[in-house]
Amino acid sequence: GADIVTISALSDNRLPDDLDGLYIGGGFPEVFAAELEANVSLREEIRQAGENGLPIYAECGGLMYLGRSICTAAQTYDMVGLLPLDTQMQGKPQGHGYTIMEAAPEQPWFSVKTEIRGHEFHNSKVINVGANLKFGLIVKRGHGIDGHHDGISYKNVFAAYNHIHALGCPEWAEGMMKLAALNRQS
């Protein structure tokens, strides 16, 4: 029942009109950090949309993009600033392999204790975490953000290092659709 519209954080200067939800996939934003930083108008629109309750689901590189900055060995780049955290690039993987997570009560995307399987591969770590940050996942297998938690939950935003196995956990799409429908009504 959803219409999918693609956007590029590198070349689109604004979000599409009538957007009911946003999925930001993984990748390697540190490779394009200068270009992502330069797209100030889109970063600000995403930040404001998240603050206003737009459902946003972000995985790995999406988590990094939604934070305040990405710090490489050479430079620090400003990102969206929606989440109170920075990411610091590391010389070796910080989390790598298959994951099993359990949904915590601190998020609106999954029923509590839902088992979420996926994978992670990240060469960054989350630093400078703001106070009162809520985690939506408990790590059963893997590393996540701190070895015990993943899935930062803020308003209708859910951002994790974990790349969900969508067929193994259809609840994520159901959660997205539910939150998008509620967002449209408000």
Q: Which residues are catalytic?
A: 60
Residues forming a β-bridge with 90: none
**Cβ neighbours, 10 Å, residue 18:** 8
Contacts of 49 (CB under 8 A, 6+ apart): 15, 19, 22, 56
| 22-51 as b/e: b if 16+ CB within 10 A | bebebeebbebbeebbebeebbebbbebbe
Q: Quick check: 108 and 175 in contact, CB under 8 A? A: yes
Query: In sequence order, what E strands does the chain have?
Result: 22-24, 56-59, 69-71, 76-78, 86-89, 95-103, 115-122, 124-127, 134-141, 149-154, 157-160, 163-164
**Cβ neighbours, 10 Å, residue 136:** 26
